[in-house]
Amino acid sequence: MSAGWTVHKFGGTSLADADRYRAACDIVLSQQSGERVAVVVSAMSGVTNALIESVNLASTQDESYLEKLQALESRHLKTITTLQLRNDQSSALKETIVSNFNAIKEVLRGVWITRLASERIIEFVSGHGELWSAQLMHAYLVAQDHHSSWLDAREVLVVEPNTNSVAVDWQLSKQKIQTSLAQHPETDFLIITGYIAATHDGVATTLKRNGSDLSASIFGALLGADAVTIWTDVDGVFSADPRRVPDAVVVPELSYQEAAELAYFGAKVIHPNTMSPAIANNITVWIKNTFKPDAPGTRISATSPTDVPIKGFAAVENMVLINVEGTGMIGIPGVAHKIFGALRAVDVSVVMISQASSEHSICFAVPREHADLAKKTVEQTFVVEMQRGEIQTVDLTEGCLHHRDGRQRHD
């Protein structure tokens, strides 16, 4: 029987250039412990943003989309040269990349003409960074005489996209990955594209922004791994965003629930949905620093020490508070139902709700991009009540932070 799998994931912050690919490979090699190694990779830093921007520029008929693509193409070709691959590998990979960019240019020509950047096109184009990244790392390992294969996750990972996330078809994905692994029985390293997947119809899709962390725990589950290590540019999960709070400290251990809470409430270091496959399969998740691989990092598992009451603090930016106020709301049943029903009908997700016990006002928080729609919807819903003066104001407060502590719960 072949050995089990361990999974490592490298984020874009750890894959900026050829030196960082080398450093990532050194880490993977130094961590080998007899198991086969799956490496889930993000695109090089900034690539996904640039690809999405190029689609958006083309849709507004801004010619600079071509320069943006050109810069990305050159960056990838230069990285191949600097990695000093074997000549045959180097020219094959360069050819693939040039041909991918030509295909993207054709797609974006269509976007330019129609001025239409459909979701499907954005998903298709934005996933290319991971395809290039996986092939780069694979080629480098082969150049160092290692048994490596690379896997386009769209061939095995089948998902159904929802509004903000995806539902994995576990059964089908497991079958597909087993078939794919059977084709590489000798491989020690399997380099897998993070972020991308396919729908049941075979259409290219993504796990949404920052989704490579989720890819790592999904592949951990599909491969039956005991541990997944997420390598990033900080020492672990900090008690607060280290960019904002210089005194923040690394939290050595977190439970899945604590990590999920911090992630949902803005700790960008992990994608919020990463924990679900880990919980279901009891996979230990480590967060570690590629720049300091020997630092202990953060261990996330089913249990965590309970002696510290608050583990961390996270904040979501760009929230807006909407306050609905009126004397005509007091004691009238169904006002909240009406507000949130109307918001649901227009697909606005409410992040936080508070109602004064006097029932004189209801206040709720929504992301900035939904604020105007939310306000307009509430005003339309209560147009009669506003005319009669029963509801006096629907106010909007900009620039709020929504924060949350990762408190240990004992319920």
Two structure tokens written together for 309 = 């009451």
Residue 14 binds ligand ADP (CB under 6 A): yes
Question: 127 touches which of ligand ADP, ligand ASP, Mg ion, none (CB within 5 to 8 A by kind)?
Answer: none
Mapped onto helix, strand or coil, the DSSP state of residue 239 is coil
Terminal CA-to-CA distance of the chain, rounded, Å? 43
The CB-of-120 to ligand ADP minimum distance in angstroms stands at 25
Cα–Cα distances in angstroms (integers) from residue 34 to residues 30, 69, 95, 189, 371, in the given order:
11, 41, 35, 12, 53
Two structure tokens written together for 155 = 């061939």
Residue 241 binds ligand ADP (CB under 6 A): yes
Pairing of strands 189-193, 36-41: parallel
Contact region with Mg ion (CB under 5 A), list: 100-108, 207-215, 275-283, 294-302: 207-215
Q: Interaction with ligand ADP in 269-328: which residues (CB under 6 A)? A: 269, 312, 314
Angle between helix axes 170-182 and 212-222 (nearest 10 degrees) is 70
69 close to 97: Cβ distance less than 8 angstroms = no
Among 22, 62, 176, 242, binds ligand ADP (CB under 6 A): 242
Phi, psi of 374 (to 5 degrees): -60, -45
Mapped onto helix, strand or coil, the DSSP state of residue 132 is helix
Residue 210 binds Mg ion (CB under 5 A): yes
Question: 234 touches which of Mg ion, ligand ADP, ligand ASP, none (CB within 5 to 8 A by kind)?
Answer: ligand ADP
- Total binding residues for ligand ADP by CB under 6 A? 21
Among 126, 193, 215, 232, binds ligand ADP (CB under 6 A): 232
Contact region with ligand ADP (CB under 6 A), list: 5-13, 159-167, 170-178, 377-385: 5-13
Q: Which residues bind ligand ASP (CB under 6 A)?
A: 11-12, 42-43, 48, 129, 194-195, 209-212
Pairing of strands 310-325, 352-355: unpaired
Two structure tokens written together for 171 = 């059964």
Residue 129 binds Mg ion (CB under 5 A): no
Among 79, 173, 193, 210, binds ligand ADP (CB under 6 A): 210
Strand order from edge to edge, sheet including 310-325: 352-355, 361-367, 310-325, 393-407
Quickly tell me which residue has 């104001």 as its tokens: 393
The CB-of-261 to ligand ADP minimum distance in angstroms stands at 11
Contact residues: ligand ADP, CB under 6 A: 11-14, 42, 210, 232-234, 237-238, 240-243, 262, 267-269, 312, 314
